[in-house]
Amino acid sequence: MSSLKRLLSLCALPVCLAAFAADNAAAREEILITGSTTVLPVMQKAGEAFMAANPDISLAISGGGSGTGIKALNEKLCQVAMSSRDIKDSEVADGKAAGVNPVRASIAVDALVPVVHPENPVRNLSAEQLRDIYAGRIVNWKDVGGKEGAIVVVSRDSASGTFEIFSEFIMKKEKVLPSALLQSSNGGVAQAVANNRRAIGYIGFGYLDASLKKINLNGVEATRETALSRAWPISRELYIFTNGAPAGPVKKLVDFLLDPSKGQKIVAETGFIPLGKK
Q: Is residue 157 helix, strand or coil?
A: coil
Q: Is the pLDDT of residue 221 over 60?
A: yes
Residue 28 has what pLDDT?
78
CATH 3.30.465.10 fits 110-229, yes or no: no
Per the prediction, the chain carries an average pLDDT of 90
Average pLDDT score over residue span 208-217: 97
Q: How confident is the model at residue 173 (pLDDT cuts 50, 70, 90)?
A: confident
Q: Is 237 or 159 the better-scoring residue by pLDDT?
A: 237
Average pLDDT score over residue span 12-33: 57
Q: How confident is the model at residue 4 (pLDDT cuts 50, 70, 90)?
A: very low
Confirm if 201 and 211 have CB atoms less than 8 A apart. Answer: no
Query: Nearest to residue 151, comparing CAs of 127, 169, 172, 129?
Result: 129
If phi > 0 it is left, if psi is from -120 to 50 it is alpha, else beta; for residue 151 that is beta
Average pLDDT score over residue span 32-44: 95
Residue 276 has what pLDDT?
63
What's the pTM value of the predicted model, to 2 decimals?
0.80
CATH 3.40.190.10 domain residues, the chain = 3-109+238-277, 110-229
Q: What is the 3-state secondary structure (H, E, C) of 18-71?
A: HHHHHHHHHHCEEEEEEECCCCHHHHHHHHHHHHHHCCCEEEEEECCCHHHHHH
Q: CA 100 to CA 106: how far, in whole Å?
A: 19
Q: Which CATH superfamily is domain 3-109+238-277 in?
A: Periplasmic binding protein-like II (3.40.190.10)
